[in-house]
Chain A
Amino acid sequence: MIRVSGLKKSFNNNEVLKDISFQVNEGETVAIIGPSGSGKSTLLRCLNYLERPDAGSIEVGEVSIDAEKPKKVLVNQLRMQTSMVFQHYNLFKNKTVLENITYPLTATKKYRRREADAVGQNLLEQVGILDKQEAYPISLSGGQQQRVGIARALAVDPHAILFDEPTSSLDPEWVGEVLNVISDIAQKDKTMLIVTHEMNFARDIADRVIFMADGYIVEEGKPEDIFDNPQHERTRRFLSKYGRQVSTENNKEEPALVMA
């Protein structure tokens, strides 16, 4: 379970998160959508303290942190509760595909080499690139690299996995294979929080959708409600740009856009 309340974050004088509160239940998949610059990625990065929030509290699994007085020990424990899949994969370039997965296991979780290899190979098989285990990241396609990134995030067996726009820097031809892998994980009842621009994917995979704009959560709800019957003007405007069908009932002033 993830519980966030009153989270605030500014960069210099630019307030990126303005009082964010939400909850993700055990085993739930939540998609965060919204325009660029709305604070989605920053929110995700606050959850594992890659960014340090200014105020509010974060609770993930058994660890909770008050942003006003974060203890270093707690920050480390909080980071252990989650793992992250990055937009740019961020694989360790000096390590092989298998080592990318096993290095965190042997370094932090005190696995023996052979146990770690077994875990890693099993996960590589799940994401479909066991044959590349000895390769270095540079020789992989974007889609393959991201699948390794997902396997690495799964390996530490976190309480929740954070996906930060996992397909945004992929060539269109690789998007499908990565989304398929993520869908598989979602079906295994992993707790997942996904920032994405793939609206169809969010709709298909998420149990709940959060729409963010300008540092606020504008609305949240079941995918059908958000996509078919958004309550807020801001949400409708955003979705119309993505060409989603938006219910005309609540949207008299703007013509609905219908695409494919």
Chain B
Amino acid sequence: MNFDLAYMLEIIPELLVYIPITLYLAIVSMIIAVAIGVVLSLLLVNKTPVLLQLSKLYISFFRGTPVLVQLLMIYFGLPQLFPWLNSLSAVNAAIIAFSLNTSAYLAEIFRAALISVDKGQTEAAISTGLTYRQAVWGIVLPQAVRNAVPATGNMFIGLIKNSSLAFTIGVTELLAQGKLLATATLQFFEAYLAVGIIYWGMTIVYSWVQRWYEARINRPYEV
């Protein structure tokens, strides 16, 4: 066997430099996806006519097509239709694709989280004179968040790893740098293993953060 451990350890610091761009892609996409997902889920729950059908179409499309296809459509396809989008950077195109794709999944997660908060609490809020909006913001959403956190965390972990797809449109992130090193030295296994370990490490650290947060927000519900 021809495995060069020393080389692998040597390139890890060179790869760590690319963690910020990977996290940037994942975190910004996640924030936008959550915002879109919340709006979509409220449209789904309230069954607002017309907008409900549009939301369902949106979710169906972005869940039904590969994220890589969406990424290529946005980066290479859209500027063809709209020339002013030529200036769209690869990083921004990746963020748009990841946001739209993730938001479709989050919409379903949030919808389930919202309807799992019993209707009686909304009724109680309204009966004490709160408006529907106040009831949703103050009572329903905080509880829905708790219900949604585990599944949303899964989506985020997926997003950290999917951000590696951005290398296909020329974003130099973690995987792109690994590929660069691999082709330079032809030590593919070591380079890609190093990349994999770094992704793994990021998801482990994130899992700790999430576990701490879940424990915190679960406190009111423990006897």
Using CB atoms and an 8 Å cutoff, list the residues of chain A in contact with chain B.
48, 50, 76, 79-80, 82-84, 86, 88, 90-96, 103-104, 107-109, 136, 138-139, 149, 152-153, 155-156, 162
Contact = CB atoms under 8 A, between A and B. Distances in A.
Nearest to A92: B139
Contact of A156 (B121, B129, B134, B146): B129
Q: Which 4 A-B pairs have the closest CB atoms?
A: A90-B120, A104-B128, A90-B124, A84-B127
Contact of A107 (B130, B146, B219): B130
Interface in B83-139: 118, 120-121, 123-131, 134, 138-139
Given A93-B143, A108-B134, A136 B221 contact: yes
Interface in B139-155: 139, 142-143, 146
Contacts of B143: 93-94
Majority secondary structure, A binding face:
mixed
A224 to B, nearest CB: 32
Contacts of A84: 123-124, 127
Nearest to B142: A94
A167 B128 CA distance: 20
Contacts of B129: 76, 79-80, 83, 104, 108-109, 156
Contacts of A162: 127
B215 to A, nearest CB: 15
Nearest to B222: A138
A92 B128 CA distance: 12
Residue from A83, A96, A107 with most neighbouring chain B CB atoms (10 Å): A107
B220 interface: yes
B124 A92 contact: yes
A200 B44 CA distance: 46
A104 B130 contact: yes
B223 interface: yes
Interface string B142-173: 11001000000000000000000000000000
Contact of B128 (A96, A139, A156): A156
Contacts of A95: 139, 220
Given A48-B126, A108-B128, A153-B128, 11 more contacts: A79-B129, A82-B127, A84-B127, A90-B118, A90-B121, A90-B123, A91-B121, A92-B124, A92-B139, A104-B130, A152-B124
A92 B142 CA distance: 11
Given A136-B220, A138-B222, A86 B123 contact: yes
Contacts of B126: 48, 50, 79
Given A138-B221, A138-B222, A139-B223, A86 B131 contact: no
